[in-house]
Amino acid sequence: MKYTAQNMANQCGNTAFLDGQMDSILLAEINQMADVYSGRIFVVNESYGIVLDTASLYEDRTCVSDEVFRCMTGNSSIVEASDRHYMSFALPITISDQDGNGKQQIVGVLVFGASTQSIASIVDVMNEKANVLLLLGFLLLSVFAYGMSGVFAAPFRRAIVQMDALETGNLNMELDSQGFDVNRKAADAVNAIIHRLKVQDESRQQFVSNVSHELKTPITSCKVMAESLIGQENVPVEIYQDFFESILEEVDREQQIVTDLLELVRMDDMQGVLNVSQVNIGTMLEVILRRLKPIAQKRDIELVLEIIRPVTALVDETKISLALNNLVDNAIKYNRDSGRVLVHLDADHKYFYLTVEDTGVGIPEDAREHIFERFYRVDKARSRETGGTGLGLAITKSVLAMHHGVIKVESVLGEGSKFMIRVPLRYTA
Which neighbouring-strand residues pair with 412? 416
Confirm or reject binding of residue 253 to ligand ADP (CB under 6 A). no
Q: Find the shortest distance in angstroms from Cβ 381 to ligand ADP.
A: 10
Can you tell me the distance from the alpha carbon of 304 to that of 112, in angstroms, rounded to the nearest whole number?
A: 120
89, 75 Cβ separation under 8 angstroms: no
Confirm or reject binding of residue 358 to ligand ADP (CB under 6 A). yes
Length of the chain: 429
Q: Which stretch binds ligand ADP (CB under 6 A): 110-118, 198-206, 294-302, 330-338?
A: 330-338
Q: By three-state DSSP, how is residue 328 classified?
A: helix
Q: Find the shortest distance in angstroms from Cβ 239 to ligand ADP.
A: 30
Pick one of 166, 319, 417, 421: the residue that binds ligand ADP (CB under 6 A).
Answer: 417
Provide the residue type at 59 as one letter: E
Provide the residue type at 108 as one letter: G
Q: Which stretch binds ligand ADP (CB under 6 A): 51-59, 82-90, 273-281, 329-337?
A: 329-337
Can you tell me the distance from the alpha carbon of 154 to that of 157, in angstroms, rounded to the nearest whole number?
A: 5
Q: Find the shortest distance in angstroms from Cβ 178 to ligand ADP.
A: 46
Pick one of 8, 30, 296, 363: the residue that binds ligand ADP (CB under 6 A).
Answer: 363
Q: Find the shortest distance in angstroms from Cβ 329 to ligand ADP.
A: 8
Pick one of 115, 379, 404, 420: the residue that binds ligand ADP (CB under 6 A).
Answer: 379
Pick one of 378, 404, 410, 427: the residue that binds ligand ADP (CB under 6 A).
Answer: 378
Please write down the HEC assignment for all residues of 369-396.
CCCCCCCCCCCHHHHHHCCCCCCHHHHH
Confirm or reject binding of residue 339 to ligand ADP (CB under 6 A). no
Confirm or reject binding of residue 218 to ligand ADP (CB under 6 A). no
Please write down the HEC assignment for all residues of 268-293.
HHHCCCCCEEEEEHHHHHHHHHHHHH
Q: 193-223: b or e for each residue (b if 16 or more CB lie within 10 Å)?
A: ebeeeeeeeeeeeeeeebbeebeebbeebbe
Pick one of 253, 319, 377, 403: the residue that binds ligand ADP (CB under 6 A).
Answer: 377
Q: Find the shortest distance in angstroms from Cβ 154 to ligand ADP.
A: 52
Confirm or reject binding of residue 388 to ligand ADP (CB under 6 A). yes
Can you tell me the distance from the alpha carbon of 346 to that of 356, in angstroms, rounded to the nearest whole number?
A: 12
Can you tell me the distance from the alpha carbon of 371 to that of 233, in angstroms, rounded to the nearest whole number?
A: 46
User: What is the x/- site pattern for ligand ADP, positions 271-310, by CB under 6 A?
Assistant: ----------------------------------------
Q: Find the shortest distance in angstroms from Cβ 389 to ligand ADP.
A: 5
Name the residues that contact ligand ADP, by CB under 6 A.
326, 330-331, 334, 358, 360-361, 363, 371, 376-379, 383, 388-394, 417
